[in-house]
Amino acid sequence: MHAAFPLPDVDWPPTRELFAGAARGELRVTRCNLCASLVWYPGTPCRTCGAERQEWVTVSGRGTLFSWSVVRFPWIPQFASIVPFATGLVALEEDPRVRLVSRIVDCPIESLHADMRLTVDFRPLRFDGLAGEVVVPLFRPGPK
């Protein structure tokens, strides 16, 4: 049975391994089988060589904040208890050209700054009034 929106669909093939890895405490992304460049989003052609075959690999979970946006109004009603929050593009340490979209946690919004160091933190995502939860990769400041 699928989790109810806005929980992510952990069975959707392109990102199933991302959520399976998160449940194990591993940050998983795809890597090009031909040139070994990291590729994100899964299933898109490699930006380095254009190849389309990829495999999933585990990365360190360290990165830097490339950019972010602050959500202050709960356009989705389930977000009411978490606004304001920051959604950021996290540039991975292994290849800063590869950026994941995630929520930045454990940091006052006014303290966010470009290139701040971030570490993945796997946390259960749950919403008021919705059954179930999904472990997702969020990012917090650190290491110092």
User: Residue numbers of the site for Zn ion (CB under 5 A)?
Assistant: 32, 34-35, 37, 46, 48-49, 51
- Using the minimum distance from each CB to Zn ion, give the nearer residue, 4 or 35: 35
Residue 41 CA to residue 138 CA, distance in Å, equals 17
Name the pairing type of β-strands 38-39 and 54-59: unpaired
Amino acid at residue number 4:
A
How near is the Cβ of 60 to Zn ion at its closest, in Å?
20
- Using the minimum distance from each CB to Zn ion, give the nearer residue, 37 or 64: 37
What are the DSSP E strand ranges found in the chain?
27-32, 38-39, 54-59, 62-71, 85-92, 95-104, 117-125, 134-141
- Using the minimum distance from each CB to Zn ion, give the nearer residue, 35 or 131: 35
How near is the Cβ of 34 to Zn ion at its closest, in Å?
5
How near is the Cβ of 93 to Zn ion at its closest, in Å?
19
- Using the minimum distance from each CB to Zn ion, give the nearer residue, 54 or 64: 54
How near is the Cβ of 41 to Zn ion at its closest, in Å?
14
- Using the minimum distance from each CB to Zn ion, give the nearer residue, 55 or 106: 55
How near is the Cβ of 33 to Zn ion at its closest, in Å?
8
Pair of tokens at residue 4: 């109810």
At 72 the three-state DSSP class reads coil
Pair of tokens at residue 99: 């950026």
- First vs last Cα of the chain: how many Å apart? 41
